[in-house]
Structure 1
Amino acid sequence: MLPAQAQEINWITMNEALEAQKKEPKKIFMDVYTNWCGPCKMLDKNTFHNPDVVKYVNDNFYAVKFNAEGTEEIKYNDYTYTNPNYNPDRKGRNSQHFFANALKVTGYPSIVFFDEEGNLITPVTGYKTPQQLEIYLKMVREDDYKTLTSTEAWQTYEESFVSTFKD
C-alpha cells in the first residue's frame, strides 16, 4: 500500500500562468487573499486542502495565489500592475494592489476566474466550502457561465446542480 500523499494545489504566480497559457491554453483560478484575512486562512485550510478541490483545480486550471496587498509586479494586458502605496512598516491592512483593484475585487477572500486567453470572467467573493466552490469551478470549466445571463438562469442552474465533492 502506498503512503498517503499530502494533497496540495499547484500554486503559481499570475505572470507564470499567463506565460503557461501561451503554450497550453487553460483557464486560470486565482485566490486573492490578504495576510490579515481570517476567512482567507480558513479557505486555505479547509477548502484548498480538500482532496476533491485539489484534484479538480490541478487537473483543470492554472492556480494562482495572489496577495491583494503585496508587492508583486504583474504584467497583464500590456500594463504592469504594482502596489506603489505599499508600506512595509504597516501592521495589518495595507494598500490594495492595483491589479486587485483592476479585477474589481471588493472583499477577501475572492476567487477570480480567467478564460484560456487570460480574459477576466468573474470574481467570486467570500469564503466557500468545497461544495460551495465546486459549482463555480464546474460552471467556469464547462463554460456554462456564458449562458447564465440572468438571476433566474443562475438560480435554476444552482438548484439543479448536484455536488460530488466530499467533506
Structure 2
Amino acid sequence: MKLIIIWLSLCLGQLIAYTATAHTKTHLTDGPTGITFFTGSWKDVLAEAKRQNKPVYVHVYTTWCPPCKRMTLEAFPNPKIGAKFNVHFINYQLDAEKGEGIDVAKRYVVSSYPTALYIAPNGALIHRAVGYTGINGMLDQADKMLETPQLRPTVARGDKDYADGRRDPAFLKKYLKTRQQLNRPTTELLDVYLDVLPASERLTNETKAFVAEALQSSTTKAFDYLIKNRSRIPTSEPTQQSLETTVSDALIRALDNDFRRASATSDEVLLETVIANSERNMASANPFVIRQEAQKEKAANDYRLKFLTQTNNALK
C-alpha cells in the first residue's frame, strides 16, 4: 500500500508537468491536416530517418523572420503540403539562434532565413534552398528533391501514387508490403487498407494473417479488428492454431511498441491507452474467464510502475 501511495504521488507530479506542456507541444509539431514535424534532438531525427529509410526536410527559421512566419501560417497547415511532405520526408524545424539550431545552421552553412535543408538519412546535405516560394513552389521543390539520385533510393515504390490518392485494396496491400520491407511505418496505411477492403475479404484468414503481420500499434483500427475477430478463428486445425499464435503475438507486439513509445516520450495519456488495450487483449484471449477488478488493477499498476521506473531512469 505504501508503494502505491508513493507511486501515485510521483505519477501525479509527472502528469501535471505533462499536462502543462501538452498544448504547446501539439501546437508546435503539427496541424490538423498539414505538415507534421518530428520532435526530438537532431540525433533523434537522423536515427528516425535511418529507421524509416526516408530523407529529412529541415525548416531553419528565426523568430524575427517575416517569411518564416508566413510559411508557418500559410504553408505548413496546407493539406497538399502535408500530403506531400508527411509521406516522403521526416520533417523537422530548427530555430537557427537557439539550442541545437545554432550548431546545425553552422554545419550546413545557413545564413539566410527561411532555409530548407534536404538531408539524406546519413546526414549528408543533398540540397539547400533559401526563401519561401509559396505552396506550389514548395511542392515543386519536393518533387525535384525526390528525383535526385541521392534521395531516389530512399523513396518506397508507391509513395507518389498513395500521396496522389490511390486507394484500391490490391495497390494498398502491395504498398504495405513494400513499406514493411523498408522498415517504414505502416500504422495509418493499414487502417486505410481495412477501410477500403470489400466485406467479402474482411474476415478471411488470409486478411487476418496479413493484418497481424503489418500491425505496429494498439491505437489503431487494425488492433480493434484483430481483437474483435480473433474469437472467429477456429483452433481445431494446426493451421488455425498457427494463425491464432500469429494474431496473439501481433497484439502483444503492438502493445509493447506503444509502451516503449510512451516511456520514451513520457506520454502518460498513451500509457493509459496501452493499459486499457492490454486489458482488452486479455479479455479477448480468454473470453470465458472473468477477471476480478483486483487483477485488472494489479496489471495496470505493474504497467505504471514500469513506466515510472523507465521515465525516471531516462531523466538521470
TM-score (structure 1 length as normaliser): 0.65
Return the offset for 1:128: 2.1
SS at match of 2:60: strand
Return the offset for 1:144: 6.1
SS at match of 1:70: coil
Q: Which residue of 2 aligns with 1:124?
A: 129
SS at match of 1:11: coil
Give the whole-Å Cα distance in 2 for the aligned partners of 1:131 and 1:140: 14
On the 8 A contact 1:30/1:66 being kept in 2, the answer is yes
Return the offset for 1:118: 2.2
Return the offset for 1:36: 1.1
From the two aligned structures, give the one with the greater strand fraction.
1
State the AA in 1 paired with 2:34.
E
Q: Which residue of 2 aligns with 1:20?
A: 48
Give the whole-Å Cα distance in 2 for the aligned partners of 1:138 and 1:8: 17
2:104 maps to which of 78, 93, 99: 99
SS at match of 2:132: coil
User: 1:10 and 2:15 equivalent?
Assistant: no
Give the whole-Å Cα distance in 2 for the aligned partners of 1:63 and 1:57: 7
Give the whole-Å Cα distance in 2 for the aligned partners of 1:23 and 1:122: 21
On the 8 A contact 1:29/1:63 being kept in 2, the answer is yes
Return the offset for 1:41: 0.4
User: Structure 1 vs Structure 2: percent identity of aligned residues?
Assistant: 25
Call closer, same or farther: CA 1:70–1:63 in 2, change over 3 Å.
Answer: same
2:71 maps to which of 35, 43, 49: 43
Return the offset for 1:145: 7.9
Q: Which residue of 2 aligns with 1:94?
A: none
On the 8 A contact 2:56/2:90 being kept in 1, the answer is yes
Return the offset for 1:42: 0.1
TM-score (structure 2 length as normaliser): 0.35
Q: After the TM superposition, which residues 131-150 of structure 1 pair with which residues of structure 2 at under 5 Å, given as runs?
A: 131-143=136-148
> RMSD of the alignment, in Å?
2.2
State the AA in 2 paired with 1:32.
V
Q: Which residue of 2 aligns with 1:65?
A: 93
Aligned residues: 120
Larger-Rg structure: 2
From the two aligned structures, give the one with the greater helix fraction.
2
SS at match of 1:26: coil
Call closer, same or farther: CA 1:135–1:102 in 2, change over 3 Å.
Answer: same
Return the offset for 1:71: 1.3
Return the offset for 1:117: 2.3
Return the offset for 1:16: 2.3
Q: Which has the higher contact order (CA 8 A, sep 6+)?
A: 1
Give the whole-Å Cα distance in 1 for the aligned partners of 2:82 and 2:43: 21
User: 1:115 and 2:120 equivalent?
Assistant: yes
